[in-house]
Amino acid sequence: MKPARVVGMVLGLGIMALAVGAFFSGEPASVTTQGRVVTIIVGLMGFLMFVNNLSGSASKGGAKAQPEAASAPPFDARPCPSCGKGVSSDHRFCPYCGTAVRGACPSCGKDVKSEFNVCPYCGTQLK
Ligand SMILES: [Zn+2]
Ligand SMILES: [Zn+2]
């Protein structure tokens, strides 16, 4: 049970007790019709507060709070050589300007990064 709900229940009970006490206290303020109506309303508010917190804890207590939406995994971005925007390392073309950020080695055909000077697979000069 959440502490806030317990506090709400205790507060509701306290307000109820105060209202009931005022109702039967015989104080001049409470013996008038107006005073009685006010104490009854205040008592009802306290009762509702108590019930609301009690039922709320019963129905929602078991439900797990929605976990914070998992933030997307860090985008493995490197700047596009043409436009400078972030491009994922597994992208072959910049999604913003279409520049090939990774191409195939003209000799062996394997994927090589645009910043490579030499193909790491066959040693062909790429630039
Ligand atoms: Zn680009
Ligand atoms: Zn190669």
Given this model, what pLDDT does residue 62 score? 52
What per-residue confidence (pLDDT) applies to 1? 62
pTM: 0.33
Q: Which domain holds residue 83?
A: 76-127
Q: Tell me the CA–centroid distance for residue 95 and ligand 1, in Å.
A: 7
Let me know whether 56 and 18 are in one domain: yes
Which protein residues have a CB closer than 5 Å to ligand 2 (ion)?
A: 105, 107-108, 119, 121-122, 124
What's the pLDDT score for residue 81?
81
| Residues 10 and 48 occupy one common structural domain | yes
| pLDDT recorded at residue 121 | 94
From the CA of 112, the nearest ligand is 2
Say how many Å lie between the CA of residue 86 and the centre of ligand 1.
8
Let me know whether 80 and 55 are in one domain.
no
47 and 80, same structural domain? no
Q: What separation in Å is there between the alpha carbon of 67 and the centre of ligand 1?
A: 35
Q: Report d(CA 52, CA 46) in Å as an integer.
A: 10
Residue 14's CB is within 10 A of a number of other CB atoms, namely 13
Residue 68 covered by a domain = no
Specify the amino acid at residue 4: A
Q: Number of structural domains, the chain?
A: 2
**Along the 127 residues of the chain, how does pLDDT read in single tens digits?**
678 888 888 888 887 787 777 777 776 665 677 777 877 888 888 888 888 878 765 555 555 555 555 555 456 778 888 899 988 877 888 899 998 877 788 899 888 877 889 999 999 998 7
Cβ within 8 Å of residue 91, ≥6 positions away: 101, 102
In a domain, 69, yes or no: no
pLDDT of residue 106: 84
Token pair in block for residue 44: 């009802």
Contact 106, 124 (CB under 8 A): yes
Q: Are residues 93 and 120 in the same domain?
A: yes
| C-alpha to C-alpha distance for 116 and 110, rounded to whole angstroms | 12
123 domain-assigned: yes
| pLDDT for the residue numbered 58 | 56
* Ligand 1 center–CA 69 separation, angstroms: 29
